[in-house]
């Protein structure tokens, strides 16, 4: 079945005529994703790669029946782009844009929740259900269709661990990069709940990193709500104390959010945590035997 995106996904690209929008639209189309429209104000009536361009999301949805959007617009316009998509009735919004101010992310987050929609990101690599649909910037060749769900705060580690799984002959149902900012549209727990309900998914990989408390909260959620095997990986175990590392969300405050605390929390509820990406894949292989 997969989660969030599948064969029925009909997507628009907001910012399709920009350099990133253009580049990744071509990649997504080649993968087989149904990109039914692009949106760039002032470019309505044009086409790119055979995809019709509209001035507004509302027009695009009305003319094409789109139900998802992937956003490649500058940070100063990204919140408005998310709002426009949700207000037009889009139910899955994938925001690749990084550098959005926190207060703008909060506004977008609240509007998306109010509308009952799903926001993947911001500052994320997107989502892929292998051989069905890809919305984002992931290197699609490292994935194959299968029965392991992957959810991650880190783009690079998402690709590496998925590649390790694929190398062992283990495919993925859906891979979700939730993003590394302080405010993102989906929590680990929300994605795990989707995987728990998904018939295709038989095991789950959770890729976390230092900063925040989402992994610790997720451990509590797993204990009460998840019956499928979960394997974890936490990035940042060697991070120097006091140093800012990577994502905006990778901030340790008051001793909370360290790699050690996250690993302890996950192990306490029965989640095996790999020391390397390769070990994560090997642990998954044992779970599936």
Active site residues: 247
Closest CA to 86 of 17, 8, 185: 185
Residue linked to tokens 């020391």: 275
For residues 166 and 285, is the Cβ–Cβ distance under 8 A?
Answer: no
What are the strands of the beta sheet with 145-152, ordered from one edge?
133-136, 126-129, 172-177, 145-152, 203-209, 230-235, 272-273
What are the strands of the beta sheet with 11-14, ordered from one edge?
47-48, 51-54, 35-39, 11-14, 68-71, 92-95, 118-120
What is the number of helices (H) and of strands (E) in the chain? 9, 14
Torsion over CA of 214, 217, 219 and 225, rounded to 10 degrees?
A: -120
Q: What's phi and psi for 152, nearest 5 deg?
A: -150, 150
Per-residue b/e over 73-101, b at no fewer than 16 CB within 10 Å? beeebbbebbbbbbebebbbbbbbbbebe
For residues 218 and 206, is the Cβ–Cβ distance under 8 A?
Answer: yes
For residues 63 and 73, is the Cβ–Cβ distance under 8 A?
Answer: no
The CA distance from 145 to 136, in Å, is: 17
The CA distance from 129 to 97, in Å, is: 21
């Amino acid at each position: 079945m997969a989660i969030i995106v599948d064969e029925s996904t009909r997507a628009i690209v907001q910012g399709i005529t920009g350099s990133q929008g253009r580049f990744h639209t071509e990649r997504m189309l080649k993968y087989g994703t149904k990109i039914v429209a692009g949106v760039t104000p002032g470019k309505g009536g044009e086409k790119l790669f055979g995809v019709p361009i509209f001035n507004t999301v509302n027009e695009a949805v009305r003319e094409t029946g789109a139900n998802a959007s992937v956003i490649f617009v500058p940070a100063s316009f990204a919140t408005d782009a998310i709002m426009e998509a949700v207000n037009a009735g889009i139910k899955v919004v994938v925001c690749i844009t990084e550098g959005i101010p926190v207060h703008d992310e909060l506004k977008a987050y609240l509007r998306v929740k109010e509308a009952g929609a799903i926001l993947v990101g911001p500052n994320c690599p997107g989502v892929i259900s292998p051989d069905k649909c890809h919305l984002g910037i992931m290197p699609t060749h490292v994935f194959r269709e299968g029965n392991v769900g992957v959810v991650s705060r880190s783009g690079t580690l998402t690709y590496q661990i998925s590649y390790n799984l694929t190398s062992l002959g283990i495919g993925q149902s859906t891979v979700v990069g939730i993003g590394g900012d302080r405010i993102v549209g989906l929590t680990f727990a929300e994605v795990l709940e989707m995987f728990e309900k998904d018939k295709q998914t038989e095991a789950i990989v959770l890729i976390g990193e230092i900063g925040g408390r989402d992994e610790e909260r997720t451990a509590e959620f797993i204990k009460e709500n998840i019956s499928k095997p979960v394997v974890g990986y936490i990035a940042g175990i060697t991070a120097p104390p006091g140093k800012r590392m990577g994502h905006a969300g990778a901030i340790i405050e008051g001793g909370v959010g360290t790699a050690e605390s996250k690993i302890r929390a996950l192990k306490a509820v029965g989640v095996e945590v790999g020391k390397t990406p390769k070990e994560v894949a090997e642990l998954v292989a044992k779970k599936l035997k």
